[in-house]
Amino acid sequence: MPIAINHAGFCTPLGHEPQTILRALLSGDTAAMVRREELLFERPATVGAVSAPLPSLPASLTSFACRNNALLLKAVQPLQQAISAARRTYGAERIGVVLGTSTSGIAKGEQALAYRQQHGQFPDDYHYVQQELGSPALFLQQLLQLQGPAYTVSTACSSSAKVFASGRRLLLSGLCDMVIVGGVDSLSQLTLNGFDALESIDDDRCNPCSANRRGINIGEGAAVFTLERGNGDILLSGCGESSDAHHISAPHPQGRGAVAAMQAALTQAGLNAIDIDYVNLHGTATEKNDAMESIAMAAVFGRESIPFCSSTKPLTGHALGAAGAIEAAFCWLLLSRYNDGQLLPPHQWDGVVDEALVPLPLVQAGDSTRLQHLMSNSFAFGGSNASLIFSRGNLA
């Protein structure tokens, strides 16, 4: 049973309009990577920040008010008319919401605690639901007046990749006729300083696959999609999930969980490795992730048959719980009518090859190929891995 991705909405560091995002993606535009003074305790941080003005939440939903849910609202606004039509067609109880996040609105909690330290009480406009992990899905369900299943997945960096598998299951089980899936995360001190404590933050722009790589940059943003049974222009062909539980923060050095996730996605899609035209790498620019992912890619595709690939995190930062959805959005745009030249996003790095890594055919500016099946990888702490395959449907 094919699963169509008929609608998509975005709020990313590269912009929120499809043409704007695709133009920045294909040109390798890193202008969204900016220096921020207030996130790390001891020095500035390079982050991928959303610069677009964000909407205010409706008055009836102010208990959900935080930057995280404002990012989500910005992303879902272009979909609201289509979702309203689906609600009339299917019924509110037949439309589900599954979103991924890592820190939700914890920045709102940080602000509330700072206020409490100064004034002895929390601010009047603070509600715990603003930072609770389940907040994004509940907010979106109430905003869109839906009554179907609604929940949030939080599995670190694979959160909003795994929601595609969850949404697919809800559709194929017959519980829903449409599922809204996606992810959202916003910048916070908790996130930045936590990764800094792991010595994983690069003070400059991240440099995946380079011998000079020194770690990640954190980003923020949101992307939202509608899934429905049946054919469409762009299809969710396969979802692969695995949990190798090798280590709380380090990936399995041979990429066993990553390999399992990619192979499971291929099996579900009914494809062979040679059918994949491009892979959006997890590509965090940490020493261990890039080493593991290059080994895993060679294991799945064969050293001589690895398709074009690139990491887009030097353009957006690593949006953690939103990364899977944002990078799925990039794949959706690459497969869409907007990308009539079938161009690929160039891999932005310093070009200094790490001889210890399995060589990967990293995309250079202007590279293009037939785009029929794309893979996007998300590999998380604790070995919670997800791999997604997107395909051209009616466009093919």
Active site residues per annotation: 157, 282, 318
- The helix/strand/coil state of 210 is strand
C-alpha distances in Å from residue 351, one per residue of 313, 347, 354: 16, 9, 9
Local structure of 211: helix, strand or coil: coil
Q: How wide is the angle at C-alpha 15 spanned by C-alphas 207 and 101, nearest 5°? A: 70
What is residue 227's three-state secondary structure?
A: strand
CA–chain centroid gap for 300, Å, is: 22
User: In which element (H, E) is residue 109 found?
Assistant: helix 106-119
Task: Select from 79, 127, 76, 78 the least CA-distant residue to 104.
Answer: 127
Specify the 3-state DSSP secondary structure of 82. helix
Residues 6+ apart with CB under 8 A from 195: 201, 215, 216, 218
Burial of 24 (0-12, 13-18, 19+ CB in 10 A): buried
Q: Is 319 helix (H, G, I), strand (E, B) or coil?
A: coil
Which residue is associated with the tokens 């404002």? 70
* Number of residues assigned to the chain: 396
Tokens representing 306 are 């690895």
